[in-house]
Amino acid sequence: MNQIDVSQRTLGVNFTAAGEAIIRVWAPKAQKVAVALPDNITLPLEAEDFGYWSVRTYQLEPGDTYQFVLDEEKQLPDPASLSQPEGVHGKSRALQVADFAWTDGSWKNIPLEDYILYELHTGTFTPEGTFAALEEKLDYLLELGVNAIEIMPAAQFPGSRNWGYDGVFPYAVQDSYGGAAGLQHLVDVCHQKGIAVILDVVYNHLGPEGNYLGEYGYYFTDKYNTPWGPALNFDDAWCDGVRQYFAENLLMWFRDFHIDAVRMDAVHAIKDFSPMHILREMKQLVNELMQETGRTHYMIVELDLNDTRFINPLDEQGYGMDAQWIDEFHHALRVTATGENTGYYSDFTGIRHLAKAYQDAYVYDGQYSPHRNKIFGIKAENNPGKQFVVFSQNHDQVGNRMLGERTSTLTSYEMQKLLAAAVIVSPYLPMLWMGEEYSEPHPFLYFVSHTDPELAEAVRKGRKAEFAAFHAEGEAPDPVAEDTFNQSKLQWDLIKQEPHQTMFRWYQNLLKLRKALPALRHLDRQNLEVEILEEHNTLILYRWHENERVICFMNFSKGTQTVVVPNQAKTWQKVLDSADPEWKGSTAAPETIKAGATVSLCPESFLMYVNE
């Protein structure tokens, strides 16, 4: 079996320094493989071991299109295509991605504990929906105070409108966004401005339309099922070719696109009982690449298992993932703020669980989960704060609602300020969802642009059925309609208007304080205490570093609450107050408070003091 070479891609089309094309494909199901080149030239490929086929030729140049011909009849795009200019059913285009003229030689990835993430969808972030248009907004993001953008999946999908999770060419960058060169240029400009780039990658399933991998090889297995159909084959017969395909893909993003980190979609749906889990193998390969290049890359996973094996280091028999998304913080925060208790929210009691999330990261770490009908999770005692990404909303939590409502339309202006603060003062990595920083009212809806009419109709029906289970009133917007996509775009003109401008300044201020105050900046989970005033729906978060102490009062209730000032410091100096008229609040709290005195918390408010 091939040992994976971290220094270069071996699949698809690669060019030597002399301009010779090396064409290679894994197609163990085929008896014969050829490549159809321009000018009606067809070249046969030679069989190698383990189902690989290859040929070398000067008759294919960068920019040319080509297809593989399986068993003299099926003409199909390259599974490792880098470009699909005619869409998912069209020919592949050969590219020389390693030739990009990078200017980021002095770039050093930001330490993970300093990441302030901003998740965005390229197609709806700007009116144009391209990487080039996104570049124009980078100064705005710097002004906000974020230093890492997380781009939803950009692998080629059908049509021009999709969240990205229906990608079918993991190596090809979505043509309508700007393709491979567009993404490389964006990363280069981000690095010039001091912004890290996180790319969302999907290694747990492929989309339904244009998915030709099964024609070539044993990419899927019936051993396991996923919510999207048969699982990708990481541990069944012929799995070596699949493992290599996805491992080389990950290495390509880091090596050839200078991506700083990946966010790996739903890794709990990657089914692998090999002695070496695919994530662990990928981590080892990335470590090898980092040794070779001197650059740093992180692997962040979306994980619904509360299982520290994924994020524990390799030398502790973990998979070595650097961090994980933590939905439970979001769920506990959402229930505390809104009282919502349907679906998976039914597992969360609100403020008590929010306090547990601040202290323990996992809410369920060995308790009985009524929603799952079983004991769930293990404790994450030895995992540092930088291993957990928290948020008050993200693409899923907004877009999986039938009407795609953001927090801005579900809660009051005061509550939005409190939710932002609750995330940003946590001992974890904060992530914002595009538009939340100025209270964008537009929804983020579910949209696709499948070209297969039957599939489009199936998606429509599936979406309706999904919300019948939630007893949601009304109709789900048509995911195939262009208007559904257009409604989901950010409205950039709002930032100049009130109350949006004040909300933007609030976020800016919060992020400045997070960076400036050592007690907030150091993600030490031990230097933290939480006091719960359950009957008042109020929480007091207390964090410290060396001699600095910070106290945060969070009143999630709709009434004024009076609380006693803790005595960890004699005198406390106010640093931020969401109820101050400066932030469109009603009544400012005192500038200084003494231990043992009482302080009044306005309804749905956040108040922060630091010791003198």
| pLDDT above 90: residue 463 | no
Is 185 marked as binding a ligand? no
Residue located via tokens 């960058």: 173
Query: Does the annotation list 328 as a binding residue?
Result: yes
How many CA atoms, within 13 angstroms, populate the side-chain half-sphere of residue 210? Answer: 27
Amino acid letter, residue 402: M
pTM, entire model: 0.97
Q: Where are the beta strands (DSSP E) in 233-386?
A: 261-264, 298-302, 323-325, 367-369, 374-376
Residue 400 is labelled as binding a ligand: yes
Q: Is 355 annotated as a binding residue?
A: no
Q: d(Cα 611, Cα 210) in Å, to the nearest integer?
A: 60
545 in a known ligand binding site = no
- Residue 264 is assigned to a ligand binding site: yes
Q: Of the residues 265, 281, 322, 440, which is catalytic?
A: 265
User: H helices then E strands: how many in the chain?
Assistant: 16, 31
Q: Which residues contact 243 (CB under 8 A, 6 or more apart)?
A: 234, 278, 281
Give dist(CA 443, CA 274) in Å, integer.
Answer: 42
pLDDT at 381 > cutoff 60: yes
Structure tokens, 282: 């990928």
Residue 258 annotated as part of some ligand binding site = no
Q: Are strands 65-70 and 323-325 parallel, antiparallel or unpaired?
A: unpaired
191 annotated ligand binder: no
- Told to judge if 175 belongs to the known catalytic residues of this protein, a careful annotator would answer no
CA 281/CA 66 separation, integer angstroms: 32
Q: What percent of the chain has pLDDT above 90?
A: 93
Which tens digits make up the pLDDT trace of 355-373? 999 999 999 999 999 999 9
The answer to whether the beta carbons of residues 198 and 183 sit under 8 Å apart is no
| Cβ-proximal residues to 409 (8 Å cutoff; 6+ apart), any chain | 441, 443
What domains can be seen in the chain, in order of their start residue?
12-97 (2.60.40.10), 118-507 (3.20.20.80), 526-611 (2.60.40.1180)
Q: At 332, which amino acid appears?
A: A
At CA 439, angle to CA 396 and CA 536, rounded to 5?
85
Q: Which residues pair with 571 in a beta bridge?
A: 594
Question: Closest Cα to residue 179, out of 60, 109, 244, 86?
Answer: 86
- 468-514 pLDDT, tens digit each: 766 567 788 999 999 999 999 999 999 999 999 999 999 999 999 99
pLDDT at 532: 97
Strand duo 196-201 + 261-264: pairing: parallel
Residue among 248, 302, 322, 405 flagged as catalytic = 302
**Is 331 annotated to bind ligand?**
yes
Q: Per-residue confidence at 563, pLDDT binned at 50, 70, 90? A: very high
Confidence band, pLDDT 50/70/90 cuts, at residue 516? very high
- The model's pLDDT over 232-273, given as tens digits with 9 standing for 90+, comes to 999 999 999 999 999 999 999 999 999 999 999 999 999 999
Q: Does the annotation list 397 as a binding residue?
A: yes
Measured between alpha carbons, how far is 610 from 260 in angstroms, rounded to an integer? 34
Pairing of strands 33-37, 12-15: unpaired
Catalytic annotation present for 265: yes
The whole-chain average pLDDT of the chain stands at 96
**Whole-number CA gyration radius for the chain:** 25
335 known member of a binding site: no
Count of other CB atoms within 10 angstroms of residue 307: 18
- At 250, phi and psi to the nearest 5? -60, -45
